[in-house]
Amino acid sequence: MPRGLTFALLLGLLVVPCANAARSPAPVHADIQVRIDPETRELTGKGAWTVPPGESLAIVLDDRFDVRRFTVDGQARPAEPNHDGRRHWRLAQSERKARRVEIEWRGPLDPLEAGLDHRQVLRHTVPVTAPRGTFLPGAAEWHPVFTGRPLQYTLHVDLPLGQRAVVAGNLVADRSVDGRRLQAFQFEQPGPVIDLMAGPYRAVEREFAALGNRTITLRTLFHAEIADLAAGYLDATERYLRLYERWIGPYPYGSFSIVSSPTPTGFGMPTLTYLGIDVLRLPFIRDTSLGHEVLHNWWGNGVYPDYATGNWSEGLTTFMADHAYREQAGPAAARELRLAWLRDLAALDAGQDRPLREFTSRTHGSDQVLGYHKAAMLFLMLRDTIGSDAFDQGLRGFWSEHRGSIASWDDLRAAFERTSQRDLKGFFTQWLDRAGVPYLRLESARAVQDADGWRVDFTLSQDRPVYPLRIPMAVGTGPDQQMHWVELDRERATFSVRTSQPPGSITLDPDARLLRRLTEGEAPPILRRVMLDPTTVTVLAGATGAGEALARRVVEHPLQVRSTGMPLPAAPLLLVGLERDVNRYLARHGLPPRPAELAATPDRATAWVWTATRATGEPVTVVSARDAKALAALGRPLPHYGRQSWLVFEGGTATARGTWPSRPQSVRFDR
């Protein structure tokens, strides 16, 4: 599986939040027993719910299930439910008395389809089962859901002996009786629904000595074919728990499980992560994505974002996982990651670059850029502004104050204001509430020698509306670089910095630490620019059937197709076709031919993909193939390579790829 695919896939991990846990009413206590037969695809359930006094509520259960028994305080309920969109029963409540509801239900589950791709899996809210695996998402309402109330549960699961189940919470019993496996789970942390997974798992367990003499059970539940990966995953989990316990505070739960799925899934829930078998096989999952998922037990499933006012948890998790691991690897690795984020941001058009506060969860590629990467950059700039000590203390304070409850961007700001002793209102407002990002230019610079030595005078400008910014400027003196931070709070200003040595150059933000729109030279074109732009025009040059099918997979908006005979459109261009027709089109319209980087490729190459920028500024993406078959082979892989500037394919395999080099805004001084 290509790296790009898996990155896109894993960044889409759906954190199933324990929504409304904090400011919501007292939890419902449930004692539930379910029996699942993966062979016959049948589920039988029975449970008792104690509902504390409060407002009346609805009890929802998916239509597929027959209700065998339904009593409230021992009295049989009229069996007729209400139907307004979904089946539900109204439970009238008194102000003083708790009620006891008992329900028995039974019904069929859907077959598991291993062929689903990740987007389908994310949308798929039906309960599925097979001997290879069972996934009952809570959103599928496979158990009675008491709406608006958090749930504390004991769940007993009865499966054929070769199967094991897992849900969020602690495994409190596990035994085999008469060819069946009976397991019990408890979870005290209130959440609205239960997500249940099961499969023919080999379980490997390990005890981890956590902060404060606590013992945490680490567990892999893997299919037999990847059972040998267990130790590596458990080692990595220990490393992440150690890192985040020291950095933030104690891990909030009693266990953590890594569970394999026969579908290419990526889900994160409190106390566990559920990942496709093929995904788990990729070595970098353990080194990056697993840590990201472990950290969500603090951010997302330990403190819950206030979705109404914006989801901060993905940005903070990306900053403290993905970005932090790159920083551990070295400054160049971290810089590369940030540059990739800023390039993605430059590939968005104005309408897509919405205020960060509007990000609540992920639906499209552009939301990932926004909610994950833009937000992660906010945390980097915050740390650069208040310093690492105040930043880390702020995180710990935020955790101890809001653990187990809902918190907003404002709560985060308050935590950092306390530790930094600064008013951060302006900082958060400008990065959260404004659409777009600043556009900065180093307009001019000169080196001056005066009576006191050397200095560099330089002018910076930014587009309106103006952002107050702290900007890192690197002055090169011989082999060294000196960083100077300057503050720009208007459209244009001239600055002066002194150097002890004769200066050789000055560079604006060379490490990509500022959230800003890169200039053309800084952001060489990548495929994503044309994929995401709703104004992209597609031209098909030969093999138009295969070309159009490919374009449909690559462009995220309805296709706007022009014929080769029409004038060159004044818009982003996707040119797809056969080598000879593509070359002819490029020549006729004065567009550059296939770049040298792609020319010297082995004879086995069947397709070439590259980006360029026209003199007028519009981006161009060219897909040039030997024949229609070679075009068709790109349908699966190509959409996952949005971050590349060029690729060479042999059939469906990318054998070479890269991004055009980034040229920072820099002025050299002649001496």
What is the closest distance, in whole angstroms, from the C-beta atom of residue 182 to Zn ion in the complex? Answer: 34
What is the closest distance, in whole angstroms, from the C-beta atom of residue 274 to Zn ion in the complex? Answer: 14
Q: Which residue type sits at 92?
A: A
CB nearer to Zn ion: give 317 or 462.
Answer: 317
Structural contact between residues 12 and 266, judged by C-beta atoms closer than 8 angstroms: yes
CB nearer to Zn ion: give 6 or 183.
Answer: 6
What is the closest distance, in whole angstroms, from the C-beta atom of residue 161 to Zn ion in the complex? Answer: 35
Location of structure tokens 């053309």: 520
Alpha helices in 369-521 (DSSP H): 375-386, 388-402, 409-420, 425-433
Query: Which residues 6+ apart lie within 8 Å of 383 measured at CB?
Result: 391
CB nearer to Zn ion: give 314 or 353.
Answer: 314
Shortest CA distance to 103 belongs to which of 187, 35, 52, 31? 31
Q: Output the CA–CA distances (angstroms, integers) from residue 125 to 122, 140, 142, 197, 512, in the order listed.
A: 8, 5, 10, 14, 40
Query: Which residues 6+ apart lie within 8 Å of 253 measured at CB?
Result: 170, 189, 216, 270, 271, 297
CB nearer to Zn ion: give 169 or 371.
Answer: 371
Q: Which residue type sits at 201?
A: Y
CB nearer to Zn ion: give 289 or 621.
Answer: 289
Region 295-314 residues binding Zn ion, contact defined as CB under 5 A: 314
What is the closest distance, in whole angstroms, from the C-beta atom of residue 314 to Zn ion in the complex? Answer: 5
What is the closest distance, in whole angstroms, from the C-beta atom of residue 289 to Zn ion in the complex? Answer: 9
What is the closest distance, in whole angstroms, from the C-beta atom of residue 303 to Zn ion in the complex? Answer: 14
CB nearer to Zn ion: give 378 or 554.
Answer: 378
What is the closest distance, in whole angstroms, from the C-beta atom of residue 293 to Zn ion in the complex? Answer: 7
What is the closest distance, in whole angstroms, from the C-beta atom of residue 240 to Zn ion in the complex? Answer: 14
CB nearer to Zn ion: give 314 or 509.
Answer: 314
Structure tokens at 122: 């994310």
How many other C-beta atoms can be found within 10 angstroms of the C-beta atom of residue 510? 18
Structure tokens at 238: 């220990």
CB nearer to Zn ion: give 62 or 322.
Answer: 322
CB nearer to Zn ion: give 103 or 290.
Answer: 290
Binding mask 582-601 toward Zn ion (x if CB under 5 A, else -) reads --------------------
Instruction: Return the axis-axis angle of helices 375-386 and 425-433, rounded to nearest 10°.
Output: 160
| Cα–Cα distance, 151 to 437 (Å, whole number) | 41
| Cα–Cα distance, 415 to 418 (Å, whole number) | 5
| Cα–Cα distance, 91 to 50 (Å, whole number) | 12
Residue 464, helix vs strand vs coil: coil
CB nearer to Zn ion: give 317 or 644.
Answer: 317
Shortest CA distance to 465 belongs to which of 513, 496, 429? 429
Q: Which stretch binds Zn ion (CB under 5 A): 112-120, 216-224, 315-323, 511-519?
A: 315-323
| Cα–Cα distance, 614 to 43 (Å, whole number) | 60
Structural contact between residues 314 and 298, judged by C-beta atoms closer than 8 angstroms: no
CB nearer to Zn ion: give 41 or 362.
Answer: 362
| Cα–Cα distance, 514 to 442 (Å, whole number) | 14
Shortest CA distance to 299 belongs to which of 321, 282, 283, 278? 321
What is the closest distance, in whole angstroms, from the C-beta atom of residue 197 to Zn ion in the complex? Answer: 19
Phi, psi of 67 (to 5 degrees): -95, 120
Q: Which residue type sits at 275?
A: L
CA atoms lying within 13 Å on the CB side of residue 561: 14
What is the closest distance, in whole angstroms, from the C-beta atom of residue 292 to Zn ion in the complex? Answer: 6
Query: Which residues 6+ apart lie within 8 Å of 522 measured at CB?
Result: 342, 662, 663, 664, 665
Region 316-355 residues binding Zn ion, contact defined as CB under 5 A: 317
| Cα–Cα distance, 235 to 515 (Å, whole number) | 35
What is the closest distance, in whole angstroms, from the C-beta atom of residue 300 to Zn ion in the complex? Answer: 7
What is the closest distance, in whole angstroms, from the C-beta atom of residue 119 to Zn ion in the complex? Answer: 17
CB nearer to Zn ion: give 183 or 273.
Answer: 273
Q: How many residues bind Zn ion (CB under 5 A)?
A: 2
Q: By CB under 5 A, name the binding residues for Zn ion.
A: 314, 317
